[in-house]
Structure 1
Amino acid sequence: MIQTPSSPPVGTVYIVGSGPGDLDLLTLRAARLVGEADAIVYDHLIAEGVLELARADAEKIYVGKKSSNHTVPQEQLNQLLVRLARAGKKVVRLKGGDPFIFGRGGEEIETLVESGIPFEVVPGVTAAAGCAAYAGIPLTHRDHAQAVAFATGHLKDGSINLDWPALARPKLTVVFYMGVGGIAEICRQMIAHGLPASHPAAVVQHGTTRRQRVLTADLATLPERVDAAGIASPALIIVGTVVRLQEKLTWFTPPAGSPI
């Protein structure tokens, strides 16, 4: 983009992950950038309290996404980042978890590159790592899982058409993001492609926060138990024999009286 003497310098967009929910898991760099930003474009699932770190005069723009309910369509959001940067602002694009793990950070950066906008990426603790840790479920363990896979439970077209043979394998922990709405199909496919119905599985809702709930079961009974418990998004599904360790290894107890 050609600059004229009267035009402001192009600002920078910082794609920042705020972690899985507990404000203490925010990185130092993320906290500093939030405090310095001229504009903060933020999602629905950001760490509680993170916006309190912002300057009083910072522009705060909510662009949160819930299932089938997007405040701002993705392409409009991408262009919003471009406009703010071209106005010379220091822009923080604040996301839950990590920007590059089901956070659409790559899509937004593609637009920034095409528009000649400077950017940086600030990683965050992704939900799988944070929520599993607070639930007492190690994602890998020498006796249970030598590999871990992150999968989306909700594809761009709304389907759950995944590589099921690759996911339904022994000695593997699979974490499904955004999958509670399709949990019955996920469990059915994992059984159909080789895992026993008794294979351990869990759901972690509002992980790392005072609202955290953990439910453990097996693939055959998990959907019914989740429905009976009234568990909904935001929640992760964890499939693997590491779930058997949860009762022994659990350490985080949300404060009594925490809201559900």
Structure 2
Amino acid sequence: MLGVYRALFAAEVAAAAQYRIQSVLWLLFAVVRPVVFLAAWTAAASTQGGSIGDFSTADFAAYYVCLSLVIQITNAWDAYDFEFEVRTGRLAPKLLRPLHPLHYAAMSSIVHKLFTVPMLLPVLVVLAWRFNAHFSTQPWHVVLFVPSVLLAAVLRFTFGWVLASLAFWTTRITSIMEFYDRLLFLFAGTIAPLSLLPGPLATLGYALPFGYMIWAPTEILRGGTTLVQTFQLIGIQLVWLLVSWVAFRIIWHRGVRQFSAVGA
């Protein structure tokens, strides 16, 4: 099995090397949106005495620098690719392979991030310097950020496959994914830290899984959580990951049985 993964890794590295321009474009997209919100929030904070809620302009800078990194590490796009494969019938031969399609997607995601995250880091250092970011990060924040961001990445990946599996029934899930992206935008901490959302929206944000895909590791990395809060967030991530995995297994097995794409 280890040899299979080595071969997959080598193949994905070769593919990623051929699409370096595409990787750079993905990287730019990952940075632009958080920077826009960073500029907007710092401008708004400056007009209100230098802070909004518990966030100063320097806190906003730290938050969005960390957010950019977390978004890149946790990014998952498999549902869009999977819809095309189901609709065109290209999935059928892949189902005959010894490895679940999930393995190929996971390796592709890992290699993509190994290429792009190192390129992103110097950009984030410059942004942190330019906006005078203030981090309250302690060594234990950094240590616990690692399992948190890994859980967030696996959770987002698994949740994406839950949605991707709906393509067995609809064959077109673009509208579902667009709605999902809007939920992420609002409740994952992208438009604003969850604590700054209006009361009912903040309550909903803490209850839904989306914040634990992006917001939770972001807050941990910038030092915005206590030790107890950090363990609570990681515990919630584990719960949502278990729920997502069970949902994926159920939906996938039922979907494969009724797979009706052309060529299946």
- TM superposition score normalised by structure 2: 0.26
Higher-RCO chain (CA-CA 8 Å, sequence separation at least 6): 2
The answer to which structure has the higher strand fraction is 1
The answer to which structure has the higher helix fraction is 2
